């Protein structure tokens, strides 16, 4: 990608068109950020902040309780939709319960 002034203006205009519904949003316009890593202690802290058991937390996330346990112990890492959801609720845990 070119970072000159005119190229940046054109990219911003394309993105504006896409976001206003005048053009379909594609990966050409949308930068997918690299996966964020959430440490086991952070996952446990989110769960404790919600004051729920691992089984209830798993039900909120739509995963098996064994998955939450393995994430908190560090034997496995969350991926895909679970990782994205954990990233979101790390910023605002109450969103999980509201959903």
Domain around 24:
1-32
Residues 47 and 28 in one domain: no
Distances (CA, A) of 20 to 16, 24, 31: 6, 9, 17
Alpha helices (H) in 22-63, listed in sequence order:
40-50, 54-61
Q: Give the pLDDT of residue 1.
A: 44
- pTM equals 0.65
Residues 50 and 83 in one domain: yes
Rounded CA separation 94/68 (Å) = 18
- Model confidence over 28-67: pLDDT tens digits? 655 555 557 899 999 999 999 999 999 999 999 999 999 9
Say which CATH number the domain at 52 has: 1.10.260.40
Give 74's DSSP letter.
T
- Model confidence over 83-95: pLDDT tens digits? 888 988 888 888 8
Q: Which of 35-39, 75-79, 80-84 has the highest mean pLDDT?
A: 75-79
């Amino acid at each position: 990608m070119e970072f000159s002034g005119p190229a940046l203006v054109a990219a911003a205009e394309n993105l504006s068109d896409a976001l206003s519904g005048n053009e379909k949003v594609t990966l050409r316009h949308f930068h997918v950020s690299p996966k964020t890593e959430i440490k086991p202690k952070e996952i446990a802290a989110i769960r404790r902040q919600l004051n729920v058991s691992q089984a209830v937390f798993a039900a909120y996330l739509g995963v098996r309780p064994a998955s939450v346990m393995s994430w908190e112990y560090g034997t496995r890492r969350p991926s895909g939709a679970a990782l994205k959801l954990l990233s979101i609720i790390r910023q605002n845990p109450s969103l999980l319960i509201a959903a």
